[in-house]
Chains A and B, each alone.
Chain A
Amino acid sequence: MSTRSRQASPEIVPGSHQIPDTLQTVDAKEWRLDLFRCAPPLKRIARLRWFQFAAVFPNLLIFLLFISAGIFGTPVGNRNIMIIFVWILWWFLLISAMVPFASRIWCAMCPFPFFGEWFQRRALVRVAAIDPKKEKKGGPGSVIGRNRYFGLNRRWPKALSNIWIQNFLFLALCTFSALFLTRPIVSVVVLSSIFLTATIFHLIYRQRAFCNYVCPVSGFLSLYSMASMLEVRSRDREVCDECKEKACLAGSERAWGCPWFMYPSKMERNNYCGLCMECVKACAHDNMTVNLRPFCSDTRLKGYDEAWKAFIMLSLATTYSIIYLGPWGFLKDWANIAESGKWGGFLAYTAVLWASALLLVPGIYYGAVWIGKRLAGDCEVSFKDAFLGLAYPLVPLGLLAWIAFSFPLMLVNGSYILMTLSDPFGWGWDLLGTSHIAWTPVVPHWTPYIQVLFLLVGLYYALTTGYAQARKLFGSEAAVKAFTPVAILLTACVSCFAWLYGG
C-alpha cells in the first residue's frame, strides 16, 4: 500500500515523541495531554468496532431527514431545517467548535461516504481480514494489506494526489452560496451530488480517495485541522519502528488499514487524518493515542495546493463578510443571481471572487514574502520554502476570520433553530412548542466586539506562528526583517475586517 507522497518527513515534534507521563511539558508550546491515559473510557470507546458506525449512523439519518425536508418541506429557507441546520448550525459548530478543538472529527461522523464505504468493505462494523500468506489468488474482491475490499479499488492518480481539485470545487461551490443558502432544493442538489459522487468514487478508487482528494469540505478541514487542539499520534516512535505487523497501515483482524492512506505511526500533521480510530484499534502495542495539544501545533504547509487553500479561504471569508455582513445591498443582489437575475453583476462578482482568491491575494502575499526575503539578505532558503513557511500564518488567521464571520450568523439566526426543531418541514408542526417563538437576535450590539476579539486572537496566532516560521527559516537575526512585510500585510488584513465589522 502506498502512502501519501507528502507524508513523513523525519522531523519529529518533541511533544509527540516518548511521553512517559500523561502530561509532558517540553516547553510552553509543545505540551501534549494523552487523553487515553487521562480518561481510559475514551480509549475503550475508540477501540469498539462499532465506534464509527455509531458516530455516522445518526448523521446519516439526520442527513436523509434534511434531504427529505429540502424536497418536500417549505421552500422558505429560514423555516426549513435543511437550510437552518446545515448552513447555520452545522457550519457554526464545524468551524467554531469541531475544527479548533477536535480536528477532523466531522470526517469520523460524516455520512457522505457511508454507502460507498459499505459497498467497498461489504461491512458496516466487522473487519474483512485475511492472511496474505494463506490467501489464494483469484478470491473475491481485492486484498490490500491484510484486508479485503470490493469494487474496482484503483489507485488514485499520482498527479492528482493533492488538494487542487478540492480547492477549485470549494471555490466553485461557494460562488453559488447565495443560491443554496436560501433555497432548500439547491442545497438538496448540492449535498446529494456530493453524496452520490462519494459513493461512486468509493466503488472506483481505493478507500477514502474521495475524502482525501475530492470532497470540497475536506479541503478546508484538512488545512484548518493543523491549528486544532486534538491529534492522533503514536506515543513512542521506537515501538513503531520495531513493530513488524504495521497493522495501523496494513490492517489486521482487529481493524482496517488506515483508510486515509496515512502511515499513522509516522504521522506528524493532522491534515489527512480523519480520526476514524482504525489505527487505535489496529495497534497491538497500544501505542496509538489521542492527544490534546496547544493551538497551532502543526506549522508546516507542504505544497502550493495547501497554501492556495489558505488564500482561497481568506478570500472567501472577506468576500462573504463584505456581501452578507456589509452594508452594500447591490453586492448581495449580484451574488444572488436567482433572485436578482442580474447576470452582469453576477459575472462581475464571480470574476472578482476567483481573481482575488487565485491571483490577487496570493500575488500580494507573494510580493510581501519576496520583499521579506530581500530584506533578510543573503540566505540559502529557497523561495518556495519561504513562501510556504510564511503562508502558514494564514491558517490561524483564516480560521479565526471564519469564526468571526460565522458567529453573528449564529447569534442573529439562532432562534430559527428552535423554530425548525419543532417544525422541520415548515408544515405547521409544533413538536417541542417552539415553532411560534419570535425571531430574536442575540446580543446584536455586542456582535462587532466579539468579532474583533476573534480577529485579534487570530492575528496573535498568525504573528507568533509566522515569526516562529521566520526564525526557523532565516535564523533569529534576520527573522524580524523577513517577517515584517508579511506581518504588516496580516495586520492590515485584520484591520480591514475590523473596519468592516465594527464600522
Chain B
Amino acid sequence: MSQKMAEIVAVFATLIGIGATIFLPFVYQSRHLFRDSDIQVINLTGVNSAGTWTEEEVNGWNYWRRDFAAARPVLNVGRTARFRLKSADVIHTFYAPALGVGPVQVYPGHVVEFEVRPAQRGVFQYYCTTVCGMPHFGMRGEIVVQREGEAVTTGSLPTSGKYWLEPPPPANANLVERGQWLFHQKGCFTCHGPEGRGGVSNWNYVKGTVPALNALAERLMLFDREDVKVIVEQMESGKNLNSLVASPPVARFNVFLAQYRSVRDLIRKGSTPGKKDPHGPVPPLEMPTWDQRLSEVEIDAVIAYLLTLQP
C-alpha cells in the first residue's frame, strides 16, 4: 500500500474509531436497558453522600459535586415495573415492605433488578435499611401507585436526605441546645419526627408508628417543669445522677433513675421493633445502636433535650 493510501486509511480509521468509541457504549446501553418496551423501567441509585435513592443519573462527573433528589417513582396498577437498583458508593438495602419488595442488598457498582406488578393504588414508603453512613436516616421515599392517567399525589418527604447534616454545632451551647443539635444532626428526627413528635409510619410494627419522644419527661416520672429543670441542671453540672440517690433532688428520684438508665441503654444498644403480624415482613425502621457514635455526655445531652419537650 502506498504511503498516501495508508495515510487516508489511517485518518478514516481514526475518525471512525473515535466516534465509535464515544458513542457505541451509549447505543448499547440504551438497547440493553429498554429491550422490553412494555415494561416500565425505574432506575434507582443509592447515594450515601446525598442520603437518597434517586432516579437521577449518578456518574463519575456529578457524584462529587451535587445533591440528588429523592426518587418518587410513579407506577400504574396492574402494569409491570422493573426496578434497576445501583449503589454509587457503599452497600445499601432497598426495602418497600408495604409493596412486598425486599429487603434487597445493593453492592456498589452492581446492578440488582426485580419486577413489581402492583395490585392496588396507594403511596408506599421505601427505605434503606443498612446503616450506610450519617445521611442514611434520610434515605427514604415514596412509591406512588396510581391508576393509569390519574393525577400524581403530592409528596411530603424531603428531597434530599442529608440537609440536616449541614448546620455546624452551636458555639457555647448548653447541654439542652447541644442535645437539640445532636437530635437533628444525627437524624433522630427522621424517624421520631421533628421535636420528637413521632408519627412516622413503620410497616408491620406492633405500634404502627415510631414512638414519639416529646413525652419522655412524663415517662421518666418528671411531671413538673421545675423537676425537669433541676435534673437538667444536675446533668449539665456533670454530676453522675447515681451519686444523688442519698439526697434525691426530686420526688420519686429512684423511679426516675431506673427509667433514665433504661433510656440510656436503649440509645446505646438499640432495639428491634416487634412485629404486628408475626408472619409479616420485618418492620423497616429499627432503633440503631449508638454506643460507638455518641459519647456518654452526648447521650445525656440528647436525653436532656428530650426532657424539655412537651407533647
Residues of A within 8 A of B (CB): 49-50, 53, 57, 60-61, 64-65, 68-76, 78-80, 82, 123-127, 183-185, 188, 419, 423-429, 436
Contacts and interface: CB of A to CB of B under 8 A. Distances in A.
Contacts of A127: 3
A74 B97 CA distance: 28
11 contacts: A50-B10, A60-B14, A65-B21, A65-B25, A70-B60, A71-B61, A75-B64, A183-B64, A185-B63, A188-B60, A426-B109
Contacts of A75: 58-60, 63-64, 88-89
B111 interface: yes
Contacts of B11: 124
A125 B86 contact: no
Given A68-B21, A124-B11, A427 B29 contact: yes
A74 B59 contact: yes
Interface in B16-67: 17-18, 20-22, 25-26, 28-29, 32, 58-61, 63-64
Nearest to B32: A429
A64 B13 CA distance: 15
Contact of B86 (A50, A74, A123, A184): A74
B110 A436 contact: yes
Given A57-B13, A65-B25, A75-B59, 6 more contacts: A61-B17, A74-B86, A127-B3, A188-B60, A426-B86, A428-B84
Given A68-B21, A79-B110, A425-B25, A124 B14 contact: yes
B48 to A, nearest CB: 11
B214 interface: no
Interface of B: 3-4, 6-7, 10-11, 13-14, 17-18, 20-22, 25-26, 28-29, 32, 58-61, 63-64, 84, 86-89, 108-111, 113
Given A53-B10, A64-B18, A124-B14, A79 B60 contact: no
B21 A64 contact: yes
B60 A72 contact: yes
Contact of A76 (B64, B84, B87): B87
A80 B110 contact: no
A270 to B, nearest CB: 28
Contacts, number: 106
Nearest to A424: B25
B22 to A, nearest CB: 6
Contacts of A53: 10
A57 B17 contact: yes
Nearest to B1: A50
Given A57-B17, A79-B108, A79-B109, A73 B6 contact: no
Contacts of A65: 21, 25
B21 A50 contact: no
Contact of A126 (B4, B59, B61, B64): B4
A74 B64 contact: no
Contacts of A79: 108-110
A74 B21 contact: no
B7 A428 contact: no
Contacts of A60: 14, 17-18
Given A57-B14, A61-B21, A124-B7, A73 B84 contact: no
Nearest to B112: A428
Contacts of A436: 110
Contacts of A57: 10, 13-14, 17
Given A68-B21, A68-B22, A184 B60 contact: yes
Nearest to B84: A428
A126 B89 contact: no
Contacts of B89: 75-76
A124 B10 contact: yes
Nearest to A75: B63
Contact of B59 (A71, A419, A428): A71
A72 B59 CA distance: 5
Contacts of A71: 59-61
A321 to B, nearest CB: 26
Nearest to A184: B60
A312 B216 CA distance: 62
A181 B67 CA distance: 23
Contact of A73 (B4, B10, B60, B111): B60
B93 to A, nearest CB: 17
A80 B17 CA distance: 21
Contacts of B113: 428
Nearest to A78: B109
A58 B20 CA distance: 12
Contacts of B110: 79, 428, 436
A477 B28 CA distance: 71
A78 B26 CA distance: 21
Nearest to A126: B3
A74 B18 CA distance: 22
Contacts of A423: 109
B7 A126 contact: yes
B58 to A, nearest CB: 7
A251 B113 CA distance: 60
A44 to B, nearest CB: 14
Given A53-B10, A126-B6, A185-B60, A76 B88 contact: yes
B10 A183 contact: no
A49 B18 CA distance: 22
